[in-house]
Structure 1
Amino acid sequence: MMGKSITVLRILTTVTIFIIMGLNPSKTSHLSYATVPPPSIVAEGAVLMDGDTGQVLYEKNAHKTFYPASITKLMTALVASRSLDPSDTITFSRNAVLSIEFGSSHIGMREGETISVEAALHGLLMSSANDVANGIAEKTSGSIEDFAKVMTAEAKALGAENTNFVNPHGLQDENQYTTAYDMGLIMREIIDNQLLVNIMGKTLYEIPPTNQVDEVRYLAQGHKMINERKDVNIYREDVIAGKTGYTTSSGHTLVTVSERDGRTLIAVTLKTDAANLYSDTNKLFDYGYEAFEAVDLQPTDYIQTLPIMQEDIVIGKAGLSLLEPVRLLLKAGQSIEDITMKTTLPEALTEEATMHQEAGRLIISIGEQSIGEWPLEIMELEYDDIRNEMAEENKEKKEFRMLEVIKFFILIGTVVIVVKTSTFGKFH
């Protein structure tokens, strides 16, 4: 949110500039790395996204809607983790355990059985349990229907405009759909949630005996890039999180996160077949790491100065910059000259401006592709001598006004005394 000074002025300007200082185009024109062609993949919809900035590195029908299947459970986990504490408990209703499709994935929860939210999230993300998804929904929102509405609303708040949820598990419904781009945005939010990332990164987990089941439930991670025991040839050491999905109508769906060399990549593939499920994602990750080189935009690479105004008089200036570096990815054929920035700024700030206040937005693009927006914060405040003079003048004005008020009340008091004295004399 903008600070109060932005609201007061309500005047925004947009300026297009080239990156300066550390990324001066005159210093380096083109980066030195090999040309790697985009991969050919089987999935009908796909996206490769930079996890830090949201920059799209590859897309195929990225905004076309498909059925998500069990990757729906990523949004289920995100919504639940925002509302529930891991130590909370869930007691499963008859509807939660019996309303799921016969033969679909579950961990055999029973009506009236109680487990912790933490255990439920493991069952949801590792074993793709549909009964658990229902229980989580009811615990969070009171009903499956209300929970699905929250899922959709929170997805749209992340920018997933072409996504709609009607259930928390992903079993087939023609009104439940998403896009590769939207699922990338959802996973990008999830990777900041360490609880969920840790759960997805596990290969095995045990749910202890409950009030209705005496045995331990053993869960295994179903994503083969994470679980080496599933398939050593598919396993990737750099994959830290992910979720699989499948229904007859959706085909195979997959969302996967890779972390390597200080970079985080998110790959989404929709409506593919079993034979190409993991090979498509492998191709996307290899392309992302081999075809792009990172360029860091430092806070000092963009500094904007705005005047500070008080009663239409300039009393100082504020220096605005990024709070932290922004990493951009360039591919062969692109140069630093292709990086541009636009700023949305007020014409001036007021005397209420404070350090680290957000006072503008920086919009970064590479070529015609908009990468994202970042806040510009006040990192330096400098006031002129006139501010002290104005402060002293204001102090004198306040003292003068106070003196006038005192005089006024003395006058009123005198009049009252005279009137009372006069009235007393008439009757006595």
Structure 2
Amino acid sequence: MKQKFIRTILCFFLTAAVSAHPAYASQEWPSDVSIEADAGIVMDADSGTVLYGKNIHDTYSPASITKVLTSIIVLENCDLDEMVTFSKNAVYNVEADSSSAGYDTGDQATVRDCLYALLLKSANEAANALAEHVAGTTEAFAEMMNEKAKELGCVDSHFANPSGLNDENHYVSAYDMALITRYAFENEIFEEIISTTYYELPPNARNPEGLGVSPGNKLIKKNFPEYRPDVIGGKTGYTSIALNTLVTGARQDDTTLITVVLHSRGTTYSDTSRMLDFGFGNFRSVSLENNDTTYSSLNSNLTIAGLPTSSAPSLTVDPDSRIILPNNAEFEETTSSVSFDLPENAPDNAIAAVCYSLGEHQVGTAWLTLGAERSESPAIPEELLSAVPTTIAQVSYEDEAAAENSSEKDRNMEEAADSQSTSDSASEPDQNTLSSGEQSQNTPDENPTGGALSDGFSVTPILIFTAAAAVIALLGTALAVWIGKSRRREEAERMERRRKRMERLKETGVSEEEFNEMMKNRRLSIPLEPDKRSPRRKGSSKSSLLSQPKKKRTRDSEFTLKKRRRWKR
């Protein structure tokens, strides 16, 4: 309960602190770029921010860039040294004259070799063989592809095969393909393979001397004019329906960009270079660790309800989190907000997302995670114990006295005197505790070891107000829950008593109506005792008094009457 309370208060503090970022007039978002392809996008790899896009949610056939998603699913489900067997379906269920690495039915190759054949040579039989190795059939593997795409946030795409050959149910958008490529470059093995310029495949039946393969991406080949030293790697594609397609990853200093070109008529490299020049020339990646201290402030010496957060789970943000900003904008111009509606791809220990924006553009998101508890059962601080010693001692005494009285009720009547003596002696610890409490109150600025207490966490008025409102809301909610539980418990006890009564009546053969009538007659037949009769109330009418039966005359009243008669004579 204590940990949940601290966790909730920390979240309220965080919401107030993050919302308190100043807002400045937003700078204009750079837009001086254009491409010839029908669709394209450049995305910041760290934040997922779209720097430029053209028809980013329109769908097109992707061709062989599909194999980026295929390779990621294989890497996440296989060991590189596993052996893959090429079936007849894997080798021959491809289009004629499509890309191939020369594998035949019955050939075996490691997952590693198949991945190099897949990403460098764009071998379609390798895609089919890997799919069958992972899922049993290419159809089952396509289902895995769609599930993975949904997990990554894709909303426009659908996959029908692992190779990207023409199919009316196989299509992607530039935005979805950027999400997939961004995720793929987070895998070190994928980046290593996709950036390779030459690889030697082992011998097989059709290639007894082995086969050397190299990528079709000219951006990483130094002997081509399209070569760019900042390009990490990429994947090309082409079919008669998809036309030219290309996905690329590039890095300059701390900034990594992802580009996608769809449905291009021979302009994939020039369009990619334009988008990369635009991205690197107008934007820079900014580290949150070096610019936003909100989270480090919340986790340093913060004390809530007398309990230091150092003994509770800590709220942390990944120190590697980054956002993307135009070169003419500063971090202070960003605004941030906390969102508790997390997507499917959020980390398991994430409790919220801090979203950063510059004007109308979202420039990054940082996951707010709940760290492990520093101690399983933290002790109550000495500062809290010394703050209210009388109350603590009183509670201890009342608990002790209640326990003592409860045990005495079960004893014989002869031990009543001993019970009273024991109850009286229980008050002695109260005085001792009070004395120690008074002594600790005389030195509130010193800790038990004699040193000065560390400085507390200073907060602004808005934080204090927010925390106070949060505490009041929590207390009100707790009170309402307690009242509701009490009422439900009382109602349950009443229903249980009624059930037991009905069972007893059923055993005796008496109905509930008969029992109620018997109880009513019994209450009416019981006369009131003299000391329980209602006294005359102020303002009672005389008629009500006269209607009462007259009392019998006593002997003293008769004697007085005779004396009066004699006096009259």
Task: Report the TM-score range of the alignment, normalised by the length of the smaller protein.
Answer: 0.7 to 0.9
Aligned position for 1:324: 319
Cα deviation, 1:160-207, whole Å, max 9, x if unaligned, reads 121111100000111111111111111111111111111111111111
1:117 counterpart (105, 111, 120): 111
1:166 counterpart (156, 160, 163): 160
Q: Which runs of structure 2 are paired with 1:266-277 in the superposition (5 Å)?
A: 266-274=258-266, 276-277=267-268
- Could you list the runs of 5+ residues in structure 2 that have no partner in the other structure? 342-348, 412-569
Deviates more, 1:36-45 or 1:252-261: 36-45
Q: Which runs of structure 2 are paired with 1:341-360 in the superposition (5 Å)?
A: 341-344=336-339, 358-360=350-352
Aligned position for 1:204: 198
Aligned position for 2:19: 17
Kept in 1, the 8 Å contact 2:220–2:233? The answer is: yes
Letter in 2 for 1:104: S
Change in Cα spacing, 1:388 to 1:93, as seen in structure 2 (3 Å) is farther
Offset of residue 250 of structure 1: 0.9
Aligned position for 1:238: 230
Q: Which runs of structure 2 are paired with 1:364-379 in the superposition (5 Å)?
A: 364-377=356-369
Q: Which runs of structure 2 are paired with 1:379-398 in the superposition (5 Å)?
A: 385=382
RMSD: 4.1
Which structure's residues are more often strand, by fraction?
1
Kept in 2, the 8 Å contact 1:254–1:277? The answer is: yes
Q: Which runs of structure 2 are paired with 1:48-127 in the superposition (5 Å)?
A: 48-127=42-121
2:294 counterpart (303, 309, 312): 303
Change in Cα spacing, 1:386 to 1:243, as seen in structure 2 (3 Å) is same
Letter in 2 for 1:118: R
The normalised TM-score by structure 2 is 0.59
- Could you list the runs of 5+ residues in structure 1 that have no partner in the other structure? 347-356, 412-428
Kept in 1, the 8 Å contact 2:86–2:105? The answer is: yes
Q: Quick one: distance in 1 between partners of 2:229 and 2:156?
A: 32
Offset of residue 4 of structure 1: 6.9
Offset of residue 132 of structure 1: 0.5
The normalised TM-score by structure 1 is 0.77
Q: Quick one: distance in 1 between partners of 2:400 and 2:106?
A: 75
Kept in 2, the 8 Å contact 1:45–1:60? The answer is: yes
Aligned position for 1:291: 282
- 1:363 is aligned to 2:355: yes
Q: Quick one: distance in 2 between partners of 1:244 and 1:216?
A: 24
Change in Cα spacing, 1:100 to 1:384, as seen in structure 2 (3 Å) is same
| Corresponding residue SS for 2:60 | coil
Aligned position for 1:220: 214
Cα deviation, 1:353-381, whole Å, max 9, x if unaligned, reads xxxx7554311112112234322346898
Kept in 2, the 8 Å contact 1:166–1:176? The answer is: yes
Change in Cα spacing, 1:167 to 1:4, as seen in structure 2 (3 Å) is farther
Aligned position for 2:270: 279
Q: Quick one: distance in 2 between partners of 1:206 and 1:267?
A: 28
Aligned position for 1:340: 335
Kept in 1, the 8 Å contact 2:323–2:364? The answer is: no
Letter in 1 for 2:19: I
| Corresponding residue SS for 1:132 | helix
Change in Cα spacing, 1:198 to 1:396, as seen in structure 2 (3 Å) is farther
Aligned position for 2:451: none
Aligned position for 1:252: 244
Cα deviation, 1:68-127, whole Å, max 9, x if unaligned, reads 111000000000100000000100111000110111111121111100000000000001
Work out the number of aligned pairs and report it.
Answer: 385
Offset of residue 6 of structure 1: 9.5
Larger radius of gyration: 2
Q: Quick one: distance in 2 between partners of 1:207 and 1:201?
A: 16
Letter in 2 for 1:80: V
Q: Which runs of structure 2 are paired with 1:137-176 in the superposition (5 Å)?
A: 137-176=131-170
Aligned position for 2:527: none
Letter in 1 for 2:354: L
Change in Cα spacing, 1:78 to 1:396, as seen in structure 2 (3 Å) is farther
Deviates more, 1:379-388 or 1:164-173: 379-388
Kept in 1, the 8 Å contact 2:245–2:263? The answer is: yes
Kept in 2, the 8 Å contact 1:114–1:211? The answer is: no
| Corresponding residue SS for 1:97 | helix
Offset of residue 38 of structure 1: 2.3
1:193 counterpart (174, 187, 193): 187
Give me the identity figure in percent.
34
Cα deviation, 1:33-82, whole Å, max 9, x if unaligned, reads xx975222111111101111111111111111111111000000000100
Which structure's residues are more often helix, by fraction?
2
Aligned position for 2:256: 264
Deviates more, 1:61-70 or 1:296-305: 296-305
| Corresponding residue SS for 1:102 | coil
| Corresponding residue SS for 2:91 | helix
